[in-house]
Amino acid sequence: MHEDIIHFIWKHKPALFNGLTCQPGGKVEVISPGNHNFDSGPDFFNAKVKIDNTIWAGNVEIHVKSSDWNRHGHNKDEAYNNVILHVVAVNDMPVSNANGDPVTTLEIPYPHDLEWELQRLVATESWIPCAKDIGKVNPISIQMWLTSLCIQRLEQKTDQVQNLVTEYNGSWEEAFYVSLARSFGLKINSLPFELLAKSTPLKALSKVKDNLISVEALLFGQAGLLNFSAITADDYMQELVKEYNYQQRKFQLIPIPGHLWKFMRLRPNAFPTIRLSQFARLIHNSAGLFSQCMEAGTLSDYVEILRVISSSYWNNHYTFGKVTEGKKKLLGENAIKTIILNTIVPFMFTYGKVRGNEVLKDKSLNLLEELPPESNSIVKGFESIGIKADNSFFSQALVQLKNQYCDKRKCLFCQIGTSVLLKKVEKT
């Protein structure tokens, strides 16, 4: 027997309990099961039940056995004094609240058929548990659930953003700069880019931002990539070293190890040297990046801000000192959209939430709807079973669904899983 199973049946099939008799009391009619609470406190808030001729409004607590009430310490916890009904599978003892008042207990028949169907569902070796059944679920229900999941994912990212802002003593600019740097590294070099930003204060870059070579020198030097022989260094390399040595002493900076950067299995246009030069250009062009990105209006505005080109040296270089065929290095469209998705949207949503600015929150959601869907194994996997994401709003929802529900076999808490399970139980 599992408590989650009783939660599920109380939430989705409360009419099954109508006519049962509680102790002490009389026959029960469930008017509303209440709102499921996933935090501390009673399991369901604001429930409404009719016992004999009296209507009760309050909270509901659920256990496998009634003795679990005392085992969990609810008999001494005033937060449980407003529980109007204690729902259990086994009523093995009467219980009281912290005031000493008896708690009305309803013993229900345990839904073994539901538990059996759940075990069969989560034991499947399919890519997701309901892969064979999801096509039978109402598409509108799926759409509504995915909408909720995207917001859920943004709320999780909100916690990460707020933690980063707290780390920088409430500075949204500093936190945004660090997150932006991490996004510039994409997946392969996200960590060294983040470490670079944390080792290179934004205030130092702000003081030299009008001079592109100074910004590049600070970033390449702090990245640990200026450790080469003066004999083999070309004019640009020598200028970077000279400028960095001066700025390093001035700001008392300690570089990160250069070996952290990964070049292997990357397209040359994505080499960290190219990305660093493009990041330097973004800093050089900006006049308060955070404010600029919060105030921009449309997707095209953000693309314009982020469509940066590396400095002229990199037109015929991918690494220091090695000349290649001439080609301008512009930050690509896919990289730009990844940066918008991973940094600008979460910061905009969080800033809007913290400031009580619904316009900003809505703008972040609109950006997701304008962005094309991500191309990854999760999005492709769902498409193979008939669930297609038309934009990043829904591809983010699918990532949340797969990572937080399917992989963790939390079918009882998933609206798609709920629909599948209820259909199976109704057939038995």
DSSP string, 139-197: HHHHHHHHHHHHHHHHHHHHHHHHHHHHHTTT-HHHHHHHHHHHHHTTTTTHHHHHHHH
Question: 3-state DSSP call for residue 306?
Answer: helix
Compute the distance between CA of residue 73 and CA of residue 79 in angstroms, rounded to an integer: 11
Compute the distance between CA of residue 203 and CA of residue 366 in angstroms, rounded to an integer: 32
The pLDDT value recorded for residue 1 is: 83
Beta strand 83-90 pairing with 54-65: parallel
Compute the distance between CA of residue 301 and CA of residue 293 in angstroms, rounded to an integer: 9
Instruction: Tally Cβ neighbours within 10 Å of residue 422.
Output: 16
Q: DSSP labels for 263-301?
A: -TTS-GGG-HHHHHHHHHHHHHH-SSHHHHHHH--SHHH
Q: What angle do CA 246, 250, 253 make, to 5 degrees?
A: 95
The pLDDT value recorded for residue 428 is: 52
Sign of the dihedral defined by the CA atoms of residues 117, 122, 125, 127, in that order: positive
N residues, the chain: 428
Q: DSSP labels for 59-114?
A: EEEEEEETTHHHHTTGGG-GGGTTEEEEEEEE--S--B-TTSPBPPEEE----HHH
Phi-psi region of 159 (alpha: psi -120 to 50; beta: other; left: phi over 0): alpha
Measure Cα distances from 332 to 172, 173, 283, 372, 416 in Å.
Answer: 26, 24, 17, 15, 37
Beta strand 22-23 pairing with 105-107: antiparallel
Show Cβ contacts of residue 346 under 8 Å, excluding neighbours closer than 6 positions: 154, 157, 158, 160, 161, 179, 364
The pLDDT value recorded for residue 74 is: 97
Question: 3-state DSSP call for residue 57?
Answer: strand
Task: Spell out the per-residue pLDDT of the chain, length 428, in tens.
Answer: 899 999 999 999 999 899 999 988 789 999 999 999 988 999 999 999 999 989 999 999 999 999 999 999 999 999 999 999 999 999 999 999 999 999 999 999 998 989 998 998 889 888 999 999 999 999 999 999 999 999 999 999 999 999 999 999 999 999 999 999 999 999 999 999 999 999 999 999 999 999 999 999 999 999 999 987 766 789 999 999 999 999 999 999 999 999 999 999 899 999 999 999 999 999 999 888 999 999 998 999 999 999 999 999 999 999 998 999 989 999 999 999 999 999 999 999 999 999 999 999 999 999 999 999 999 999 999 999 999 999 999 999 999 999 999 999 999 999 999 999 988 777 65
The pLDDT value recorded for residue 297 is: 83
The pLDDT value recorded for residue 24 is: 86
Compute the distance between CA of residue 389 and CA of residue 384 in angstroms, rounded to an integer: 11
The pLDDT value recorded for residue 427 is: 61
